[in-house]
Amino acid sequence: MAVADGAKLQLPENVVVSRLDALASWCRKNSLWPMPFATACCGIELMATGASKHDLARFGAEVFRFSPRQCDLMIVAGRVVMKMLPVLQRIWLQMHEPKWCISMGACASTGGVFDTYAVVQGIDRFIPVDMYVPGCPPRPEQLIQAIIDLQDKIQREGTITGREFDTASRQARKRALVEIVNPMALDASRNPVLQRELAAEAESFVAGS
Amino acid sequence: MPFTPPPVDDVLAALTDRFGGIESSVFRGQTRVIVPAEQAFEMLGVLKDHGFDLLVDVTCVDYLEYRDAPMQMPACAGHRYGLVYLLASTTTNQRLTVRVFVDDPEPTVPSVVSLWEAANWLEREVWDLFGIRFEGHPDLRRLVMPEEFTAHPLRKDYPLQGRGERHNFPVITRDHS
């Protein structure tokens, strides 16, 4: 309908006006499909959140899927050990854009009390995280609050064409298509053990020749 | 009422007949014998023939700087690693603990997989975490730690927080995921 200058827009009943971006974000935020990456006691609270008493369905996020290809929200609930981290990264890479990540509980966010050789000290060192939930484990209400906050974030940032994801570096070949090689072999400069072994190997090679 | 296993006097007598003097001690009704590493396989074989058909556990203790006085500990007698074999008999209900001591630089004992299949993963775990080599093991790979791990983390000279292994992963950012 054409609107003359200065004229007031007359809308028929049951019609609202919005931006298309806002509409897309509104759809996305109210139909989050979580990928439960539950490794410890936080996973129990995650299940309680989805169950009838706390009823995550009230916020449109009840469709838990165990295939990352169907999900757009990864909830990492529990400690992640270094043997598990490559799996976590692969699952994250297998999820389609747009996607978000919630780090639930002290262990996923910081390693928690498990400050040992085997436990990763916070998943945000290795994958992007949108929301952190404090607690050990957090109560379902806290996780629900994080999902509501994430919904606000999605509503603020989302665009229907995904412009927010459209950066130059994103045009490069997707990491998901590249085989994740042995992570230890990937970067010797950050692994003192490997460095020592390589040095010893080189020494013995020189000594032998 | 705590469980007290039946006495193992007959077993100790049989071992003494076969191997001479056996070092043994009793703690709360449970008997342990100390076996030199070179005799370990033979003696465990004798024990199996004697009715110890169940290998409950194989594990290890690192006595490095144990209570600052390893020499005064009769249990480890100045050795660094103390292997523990827990044996049980399902017919007589007898139980026996066998200790085998080994030392650096190449702590090695014969594998007992040929006697008890249960030893397979137990020995792999001890190899993984303590670096004890089991001669004759059919498949001595790491069990718990990732394959590419290079240390044996339950040794007392391994730092609790590791040597950077837990930080050595590719970082995936928003830009390349």
Encode pLDDT of B123-150 as tens digits.
Answer: 999 999 999 999 999 999 999 998 888 8
Please tell me which residue of chain B has the smallest CA distance to A189: B168
**Helical (H) or strand (E) element with A71:** none
What pairing do the DSSP bridges indicate for beta strands A100-104 and A131-133? parallel
User: Smallest CA–CA separation between A101 and chain B, in Å?
Assistant: 11
Decide if B59 is inside a domain. Answer: yes
- CA distances A74 to A14, A16, A35, A150, B100, Å, are 36, 33, 5, 12, 49
Decide if B52 is inside a domain. Answer: yes
- CA distances B25 to A201, B31, B42, B67, B82, Å, are 46, 6, 20, 21, 15
Mean pLDDT across A46-68? 91
CA distance A28 to A147: 12
Decide if B60 is inside a domain. Answer: yes
Encode pLDDT of A78-121 as tens digits.
Answer: 999 999 998 999 999 888 888 899 999 999 999 899 999 999 99
List A residues 98-157 in contact with B (Cβ-Cβ < 8 A).
115-121, 125-128
CB atoms B166 and A120 under 8 Å? yes
CB atoms B161 and A125 under 8 Å? no
Decide if B2 is inside a domain. Answer: no
Q: Which of A125, A176, A190 sits opposite B164 (nearest CB)?
A: A190
Decide if B81 is inside a domain. Answer: yes
The CATH number for B140's domain is: 3.30.460.80
Decide if B1 is inside a domain. Answer: no
Name which of B102, B107, B137, B112 is nearest B41 in CA terms. Answer: B112
**Number of structural domains, chain B?**
1
Decide if B32 is inside a domain. Answer: yes
Provide the residue range defining the domain that includes B53.
9-176
User: Smallest CA–CA separation between B105 and chain A, in Å?
Assistant: 17
Q: Does B105 touch chain A (CB under 8 A)?
A: no
Decide if B4 is inside a domain. Answer: no
Please tell me which residue of chain A has the smallest CA distance to B174: A128
Mean pLDDT across chain A? 82
Please tell me which residue of chain A has the smallest CA distance to B150: A193
Q: What is the ipTM of this complex?
A: 0.78
Beta bridge partners of B109: B134
Encode pLDDT of B53-109 as tens digits.
Answer: 999 999 999 888 776 554 545 556 678 888 999 999 999 888 999 999 998 888 999
CB atoms B169 and A85 under 8 Å? yes
Q: How confident is the model at residue B45 (pLDDT cuts 50, 70, 90)?
A: very high
Domains of chain A: 20-174 (3.40.50.12280), 179-209 (no CATH)
CB atoms B176 and A116 under 8 Å? no
In total, the C-beta contacts within 8 angstroms joining chain A to chain B are 98
Confidence check: pLDDT of A200 > 70: yes
